[in-house]
Structure 1
Amino acid sequence: MISHKIKEAIKEYSEELTELRRKLHSEPELSWEEENTTRFVCEYLENLGISYRRTEPTGVIAEIRGGKPGKTVALRGDMDALSVEQLDKELPYASREDGKMHACGHDAHTAMLLIAAKALNESKDELPGNVRLLFQPAEEVAEGAKALVKQGAVEGVDNVFGIHIWSQMPTHKVSCPPGPSFASADLFKVSFKGRGGHGAMPEDCIDAAIVASSFVMNVQSVISRTIDPQQGAVLTVGKMVVGTRFNVIAENAVIEGTVRCFDPATRDHIEKQLAHYAEHVAAIYGATADVEYIRGTQAVINDEASARLVQSVAAEAFGEDVLHNEKPTMGGEDFSYYLDEVPGSFALVGSGNPDKDTQWAHHHGRFNIDEDALATGAELYAQYAWAYLNGE
């Protein structure tokens, strides 16, 4: 199932792989600002002789055309960094940009996909089909995948595969179970309007602070009392802005939060119930409520055949003990937009190693990866493409 030529190539390029990741880590760019990263990817692909085109405003779609007819499989690696200050400034490859950092592993994803492309390109004459390479911007704002789909990223594609480095799993472990992997991620904003006035005269007012507080205390029962307890869901109020001064009863309050779940029907139900609760809580106090519900990413649901192929490839390439069954996360991933169009799967590759201090959570200022995981990810990208195209 796997290619030993690809395995040897990844091993040969392991030092270059680390160098690529460190370069990218030291030069982070935020979502939709990945100009230098895009330019670097284009130059690297050009040197390999791989055809590509830039997407707008950033990002790259490339294609390795096999020497034999067949299907097309897409491999995706995201490129953007976060507005996070790197705390490990003594690292030789620490971020050179104040307040910007690759705190989620996208530098690793880009580097792994570049080396996978290099290895696959050397075997292209033997490939029965094509490999499309998606170097995606703006994953952190859940916009990049949708933009690439609109620009033809999966036109003519039969299957799509992505990887995320995962610090919560031991280095080298690979997890890709069929079914839910990442949750849908929605935003909501509730604006309450009461009637302001003097803090000493509450009888003349409708206190928006009381209304908003009541909503926050009661809305959790949407999860605990109105949905099937076997359907996982999270509703979090992350921000509340209310009032202007200590002795003024607030006229306005604004609440913002997020909803995460895996089941589409549960998602619909929570959206309706959230509006229902806001309107009725406001009515109790004589206030009004305006609810804005913004659907973000879909849930990432791994296609069974694709996920099983990932598991088989990983087991053959690295040994059976590499397989890990990581439970689904309530985190969001815009890889879901590709899966809306074509079947595929999204794998996690462990990079957590307490001995190397790489067990920090994603988006933390001390996030780092065990670079021994890079070769695992690069080979998994390439071997998956090889196995899929050579499958029945």
Structure 2
Amino acid sequence: MINEKIKAAIQKYSDELTELRRRFHREPELSWEEFKTTAFVCEYLESLGISFRKTEPTGVIATIEGGKPGKTVALRADMDALTVEELNKDLPYTSQVEGKMHACGHDAHTAMLLIAAKALSEIKDELPGNVRLVFQPAEEVAAGANEMVKQGAMEGVDNVFGIHIWSQMPTGKVSCSLGPSFASADLFTVKFTGRGGHGAMPHDCIDTAIVASSFVVNVQSVVSRTIDPQQPAVLTIGKMVVGTRFNVIAENAVIEGTIRCFDPKTRDHIEEQLKHYADQVAAIYGAAAEVDYIRGTQAVINDEYSAKLVQTTAAAAFEDDVLYVEKPTMGGEDFSFYLDHAPGSFALVGSGNPDKDTEWAHHHGKFNIDEDALAVGAELYAQYAWAYLNE
């Protein structure tokens, strides 16, 4: 199952792997703005003799054609950064763009897949099938995967595999759960309209500060009292804007939040109940409610066969104790959209190391990775492709 040439190549290019990751980290680009990253990926693939095409407006789809007939496995890495100010100012590779940084590890994903591609290209004549390389933009806005699929990323693909660096796991550990991995992630906006007026004359008004507050307090019972406790779900209110001045009763209130769960029926139920609660709370106070519910990512549900293949591949490529059981997260991942077109799995590679201060949460300004994890991720990409094509 394990290809020793791949292992040797990853070790040989480990310094280059680190330098690639640092290059991407220094020059972060936001969703749909990954122009420099896309150009670099294209140049790198061209230097390896790997056929590719640019997607619009950003992103790259490439294919390593094996020397023998067989299946096609896709490997995906995301490339976009976040509007987060980097707080690690003393790093030699700190972000050079104010207000932007790779606070989620996508710089590592891109670098790992490039080196995996380099290793695979060196043994392409031995490959019984093809390896599709998907360098995806706009994961952070949950739009890139769908667009890559539309532009042909999954055409002819039999299986798909992705990796996420994970600061909440010890460096080098690998987790790939059978079944649920990442939750669906939806967003909603609730607008309440009442009747404003002078703060000294509440009897002439319909106060949306009261309406909105009542909604925020009561809507949590959708999860706590209408959903099976064995079906995990989260309803979070992240933003509430009410009123304009201390002595003016608010005529309008806007609430924004997110819903996370794993079960499609639970997802449908929460959406329905959210709208019901908004209408009923508004009616109690004589206000009006308008709900805009946007479905974001679907739940990432790992295929059993693929997840087991990741586990056996990781155990064979590294040490037996490399496997780690990380509970499913309520975080969202648009990798889910690739799974609509082929079975596959999504693995986590640990990068948390207290001695290197790399246990900060994803999306935090001090987020960083233990770069010792890079070789694990790069080899896992390549060894999984090899193992799947040889199954």
Please report how far the alpha carbon of residue 198 of structure 1 lies from its aligned counterpart in structure 2 after TM superposition: 1.1
Secondary structure, aligned partner of 2:312: helix
Where do 5+ consecutive residues of structure 1 fail to align?
none
Residue in structure 2 matched with residue 38 of structure 1 by the alignment:
38
Residue in structure 2 matched with residue 8 of structure 1 by the alignment:
8
Residue in structure 1 matched with residue 271 of structure 2 by the alignment:
271
State the alpha-carbon separation in 1 of the partners of residues 241 and 369 from structure 2.
37
Is 1:301 paired with 2:301? Answer: yes
Instruction: Encode CA deviations 1:80-134: one digit per residue, 9 max, x unaligned.
Output: 1111111111111111111110110000000000000000000100000000000
State the alpha-carbon separation in 1 of the partners of residues 377 and 309 from structure 2.
15
Residue in structure 2 matched with residue 84 of structure 1 by the alignment:
84
Where do 5+ consecutive residues of structure 2 fail to align?
none
Residue in structure 1 matched with residue 95 of structure 2 by the alignment:
95
Instruction: Encode CA deviations 1:41-79: one digit per residue, 9 max, x unaligned.
Output: 000000000000000000000000000000000000000
Identity %: 82
Q: TM-score, normalised by structure 1?
A: 0.99
Q: TM-score, normalised by structure 2?
A: 1.00
Q: Which runs of 4+ in 1 moved over 3 A?
A: none
Instruction: Encode CA deviations 1:206-225: one digit per residue, 9 max, x unaligned.
Output: 11110000000000000000
Instruction: Encode CA deviations 1:152-208: one digit per residue, 9 max, x unaligned.
Output: 100100000000000000000000011000000000100011111111111111111
The residue type equivalent to 2:199 in the other structure is G
Residue in structure 2 matched with residue 185 of structure 1 by the alignment:
185
Residue in structure 1 matched with residue 362 of structure 2 by the alignment:
362
Is 1:385 paired with 2:369? Answer: no
Secondary structure, aligned partner of 2:118: helix
Residue in structure 1 matched with residue 131 of structure 2 by the alignment:
131
State the alpha-carbon separation in 1 of the partners of residues 244 and 385 from structure 2.
57
Residue in structure 2 matched with residue 118 of structure 1 by the alignment:
118
Residue in structure 2 matched with residue 67 of structure 1 by the alignment:
67
Residue in structure 1 matched with residue 252 of structure 2 by the alignment:
252
The residue type equivalent to 2:26 in the other structure is S
The residue type equivalent to 2:72 in the other structure is T
How many residue pairs get aligned? The number is 391
Is 1:327 paired with 2:327? Answer: yes
Residue in structure 2 matched with residue 140 of structure 1 by the alignment:
140
The residue type equivalent to 2:48 in the other structure is L
State the alpha-carbon separation in 2 of the partners of residues 75 and 280 from structure 1.
47
The residue type equivalent to 1:178 in the other structure is L
The residue type equivalent to 2:133 in the other structure is L
State the alpha-carbon separation in 2 of the partners of residues 251 and 86 from structure 1.
38
Secondary structure, aligned partner of 1:335: helix
Instruction: Encode CA deviations 1:313-361: one digit per residue, 9 max, x unaligned.
Output: 0000002100001000000000001011110000000000000111111
Secondary structure, aligned partner of 2:190: strand
Please report how far the alpha carbon of residue 239 of structure 1 lies from its aligned counterpart in structure 2 after TM superposition: 0.5
Residue in structure 2 matched with residue 291 of structure 1 by the alignment:
291
State the alpha-carbon separation in 2 of the partners of residues 111 and 51 from structure 1.
18
Residue in structure 1 matched with residue 107 of structure 2 by the alignment:
107
Alpha-carbon RMSD: 0.5
Secondary structure, aligned partner of 1:93: coil
